[in-house]
Amino acid sequence: MAQTIAEKILSRHAGKAVRAGEIVIVRVDGVMATDATAPLAIQAFRAMGGVRLWDPARVFLVIDHAAPAPNETVANLHRLMRDFAREMGCRLYDIGEGICHQLMIENEHVRPGDLFLGADSHSPTYGAVNAFGVGVGSTDLAGAMLTGKTWLKVPKTIQITLHGALRPGVTAKDVILRLLQELGADGANYQAVEFTGETVQAMSLSARITLANMTAEMGAKTGLVDPTGLNLDYPFAPVYPDPDAEYSRRLVLDVSALEPQVARPHAPDNVVPITSVKGTPVHYAFIGSCTNTRLEDLAAAAAVLRGRRVAPGVRLVIAPASRRVFEAALQQGIVQTLSAAGAVFIPAGCGPCVGSHLGVPGDGEVVISSTNRNFRGRMGNPRAEIYLASPAVVAASALVGHIADPAEVG
């Protein structure tokens, strides 16, 4: 039976060959929850009668959404997580260590062929390392913490093939925004997405993460990137689809003429080429999130801003993806370059992206952001306008004070 990557990974975890449409009970390789979802998961775990984790070595808690705590309510939720981790003997990443998905990949908690459950909607990110990552809510996560299992409907798969070399200054973010425009906010609902083609095979791990990450904005259950060309620090057995696997849809895109893309307020699929929004004045530029604040993202911003300063009246805020990213950027002089250009660094974490902590925009302000969602109110103020773009576009826009193509500010 020819299988997609999703069917192969789920077959291994169901203990039998499965195909799209079947409902299966599967074992999981790891689970993760954040300070946005862990408190409810802990509450549900206890209500289920949970007294010990199915496997403490495979349960990870991360304090990243509102870190360090902005008020006493959140401080007490963080305390609840620390107490639980201590009692259960599982790993907790405390404030400033980084964003959950970055930490799961950096620390090799999720590996090729794994089935990994995250109580965060951007868990499809793990498809960048050839793993089936799926987002669930707190109660589903609690069920897996208790049993090491969950149930899933084996998804159909949409295959996306990318050809051509990206122009300088055009990135994986622009590709995924363009694909979101094509597929729409529910274009992959209940389905898996597989990315392949020579463009993808040449991508760095960081770029693959951006691609897989924003399949969440298409409603996808998971986003799997062709492991051809995937470089990891450890040996692994890649999972490839069979050549005659069955797909619900096949989409082919030549990216060689693609220009930078921007999602306009208030939906991530409201995407246009940058030429349509160039010149829109911005007040606030943010580089952050699990989508786009790794080392190569910060380097791209630094390349635009080196020796220059952000425009008067514009503030540039940066939240690195992890402490490891921040330290590497320090070592390479990237932090110094960005700070000299006027950037304000805040702790590694989610913060402004989800409106729960720091960096809230004011009424009527326009934000250009490297994050993944621009729903009304997303950053904490329903009267702000959020545009999404690549880190290079965010940096170029901060430099000139309006939405700008990095190729035109050199």
186, 193 Cβ separation under 8 angstroms: no
CB of 60 to another protein, least distance (A): 15
Separation of alpha carbons 366 and 214, rounded Å = 22
Q: Is 356 in the site for another protein (CB under 8 A)?
A: yes
Q: Is the peptide bond before 68 cis (omega within 30 degrees of 0)?
A: yes
| Residues 271-330 close enough to bind another protein by CB under 8 A | none
Running DSSP on this structure, what letter comes out for residue 29?
A: S
Q: Is 49 in the site for another protein (CB under 8 A)?
A: yes
In the list 13, 221, 294, 324, the residue contacting another protein (rule: CB under 8 A) is 221
Give the length of the chain: 410
In the list 6, 18, 53, 77, the residue contacting another protein (rule: CB under 8 A) is 77
Q: Is 189 in the site for another protein (CB under 8 A)?
A: yes
Q: Is 95 in the site for another protein (CB under 8 A)?
A: no
Separation of alpha carbons 284 and 396, rounded Å = 12
Q: Is 139 in the site for another protein (CB under 8 A)?
A: yes
Total residues at interface with another protein (CB under 8 A): 53
The rounded radius of gyration (Å) of the Cα atoms in the chain is 20
Determine the angle formed by the axes of helices 38-47 and 138-147, rounding to 10 degrees. Answer: 50
CA dist 132 → 18, 194, 202, 231, 332 (Å): 15, 11, 21, 18, 33
C-beta of 37 vs 206, nearer to another protein? 37
C-beta of 112 vs 288, nearer to another protein? 288
Q: Of the listed pieces 254-262, 337-345, 350-358, 362-370, which binds another protein according to CB under 8 A?
A: 350-358
C-beta of 61 vs 341, nearer to another protein? 61
C-beta of 144 vs 395, nearer to another protein? 144
| Residues 16-45 close enough to bind another protein by CB under 8 A | 23, 25, 35-37, 39-40, 43-44
In the list 8, 101, 156, 373, the residue contacting another protein (rule: CB under 8 A) is 373
For the beta carbon of residue 206, count every other beta carbon within 10 angstroms.
21
Q: Convert residues 103-122 into a mask of x (bound to another protein by CB under 8 A) and - (unbound).
A: ---------------xxxx-
Contacting residues for 258 by C-beta, under 8 A, at least 6 apart:
166, 167, 170, 174, 175, 178
CA dist 323 → 319, 326, 328, 356, 405 (Å): 10, 5, 9, 20, 29
- The tally of CA atoms less than 13 A away on the side-chain side of residue 80 is 17
Determine the angle formed by the axes of helices 38-47 and 72-88, rounding to 10 degrees. Answer: 50
CB of 219 to another protein, least distance (A): 6
Q: Is 48 in the site for another protein (CB under 8 A)?
A: yes
Q: Is 151 in the site for another protein (CB under 8 A)?
A: yes
Six-digit token string for 281:
């004045």
| Residues 238-267 close enough to bind another protein by CB under 8 A | 267
Q: Is 138 in the site for another protein (CB under 8 A)?
A: yes
Q: Of the listed pieces 140-148, 164-172, 194-202, 402-410, which binds another protein according to CB under 8 A?
A: 140-148
Sheet strands (E) in 76-201: 91-93, 115-119, 132-135, 149-153, 157-163, 192-196
H-helix segments, 148-280: 172-183, 198-201, 205-213
Q: Is 380 in the site for another protein (CB under 8 A)?
A: yes
C-beta of 317 vs 404, nearer to another protein? 317
Summarize as ranges the residues that interact with another protein (CB under 8 A).
Answer: 23, 25, 35-37, 39-40, 43-44, 47-49, 65-66, 73-74, 77, 118-121, 123, 135-140, 142-143, 146-147, 149-151, 153, 185-186, 189-190, 219, 221, 267, 354-356, 373, 375-378, 380, 382
